Amino acid sequence: MTKKLDILRIAIAQLNPTVGDVAGNLAKAREARADAARQGADLVLFTELFLAGYPPEDLVLKPAFLKACERAAQDFAADTADGGPGVIIGTPLKRKSGTHNSIVFADGGKIIAERYKLDLPNYGEFDEKRVFQAGPEIQGPVNFRGVRIGIPICEDIWGDVAVCETLAESGAEILLVPNGSPYYRAKIDVRHQVVIKQVIECGLPIIYANQLGGQDELIFDGASFAIGADKTLAFQMSQFEDAVDVTTWKRTDDGWVCSEGPMSKIPDKEEADYRACMLGLRDYVNKNGFKNVVLGLSGGIDSAICAALAVDALGEERLRAVMMPYRYTSKDSLKDAEDCARALGCRYDIVPIFEPVEGFLHALTQLFEGTKEGITEENLQSRARGTILMAISNKFGSMVVTTGNKSEMSVGYATLYGDMNGGFNPIKDLYKMQVYALSRWRNSHVPPGALGPSGEVIPKSIIDKAPSAELRENQTDQDSLPPYPVLDDILECLVENEMGVDDIVSRGHDRATVARIEHLLYIAEYKRRQAAPGVKITRKNFGRDRRYPITNRFRDRG
């Protein structure tokens, strides 16, 4: 008969897997288990679909991928024959009941249990019902060395299925939950409330292990934690940092209680957003094999913060900043761009675009004869810059970082095949006023893990001056857009909150302005479909979360 443990040391492996790198993810898991063993752990809890990487999307439809994942799970299970910690690790499994988002529980050299996710999320950034089948039933707790452990998987504690309650009724003593919960602003508070609600309903302590790392647009911020049966925070792991932390749990007359574990400080909203953007850019570049990046440094706020993020994420030696002046580029912009590059320590090149722009204009003279000069000619400047950046990318293998913010992308204030060129956009989901807030924050702080310098890295003159695309004489953004505080509030109402025009007007906005911004938002959808991916920061980013038709005649007339 197995002797019941009175002390259980559970390691939470908050790590950064790569989607599709099954061998690499297995190697990470083995290294984490060895680390946990050195710390005296009895059990290691990994995150959702760790061996596959999360989310694997349509890779799950590929039989060879499923076989590779299951083979890795079996190999990892065999490792536990050494008498060290048992493991709970996520992997897709194909069974007679379908292909499941699963965990395998291994100990003593073999798989002692499998569990399948029941509640498949199909909203926002999630579409698991496309590739997985729900588990056929709620399976009971697993007996691990005399401790009955329940294992809901991520959405199983978020939805309406009473998984936690059923596990408690089946004799579970503690619940361990592997998660792939993406970041958005203040998401940690939401997770805490979700877990507290489940603790109230089931009466058991819940350990919430969350993935770390960037996967295309999604950022997984870690911040694993536990809520005790008394509904208090039992431990809190760090956000945006990988870790293998061992927590100690003791059996008492009132159930399992955490007696030892980390209690990390969670960053405030500016630091969290900045670090999310930094992590997203770093992982996108590194996981896709780019050695360095290039961006157009215009002397404006958006390109400046993207340059700072690139240096912080990758190091100064991996960024090439290029100023591409034309006749409308001010002396202030030239100075600001150079000062920014110097503060960051990155390479800085100047490539004038007078000749290519004039060449385009000359080539089009006959076609454009008799027409009025306007946006078409302005966009030629942007497209010349985009072509130069792509040429540098092709020649040196550098990924182009694109630099448009969410305010601009919302209303189409961007040029296809021009300033929209690029492989990834770290500020794609930041509104303009958020860009300013993060720029000020970065000038006063160096985030943990950043490779960039301390001090003012975005010159104050860039933050203070009126934003301008500088495509014509004395141009400012506010020539064609409302002031950014007004624009951003209207956009947040329309995009994040799906508010009607009447409700937005009731906040004090001009009706004609609101109607115009709604119209611009709709007609710019075709541009957004062609935009580079970028870090998700808000609850509703363009692409994964907000999927509007390009052909769309609806307008809210109130």
- Cross-strand partners of 435: none
Q: Which residue has the tokens 């950043």?
A: 450
Around Cβ 122, how many Cβ atoms within 10 Å? 11
382's enclosing H/E stretch is helix 375-396
Question: 153: which residues sit within 8 A by CB, 6+ positions away?
Answer: 48, 90, 101, 102, 103, 115, 116, 117, 118, 177, 178, 179
Q: From the candidates 69, 114, 117, 492, give the one annotated as an active-site residue.
A: 117
The backbone torsions φ and ψ at residue 70, rounded to the nearest 5 degrees and listed phi first, read: -70, -35
Best CA proximity match to 183, nearest among 289, 267, 71, 58: 267
Q: From the candidates 28, 69, 114, 154, give the one annotated as an active-site residue.
A: 154
164 is catalytic: no
**Torsional class of 385: left (φ above 0), alpha (ψ -120 to 50), beta (otherwise):** alpha
Best CA proximity match to 255, nearest among 230, 225, 224, 236: 230
Sheet containing strand 7-14, edge to edge, reads 110-116, 98-107, 86-95, 43-45, 7-14, 243-252, 255-260
Radius of gyration of the chain (CA): 26
540 is catalytic: no
Tell me if residue 275 falls in helix, strand or coil.
helix
117 is catalytic: yes
Best CA proximity match to 334, nearest among 425, 236, 470: 470
Tell me if residue 191 falls in helix, strand or coil.
helix
Sign of CA dihedral 84, 90, 94, 96: positive
- Which positions are annotated as active-site residues? 48, 117, 154
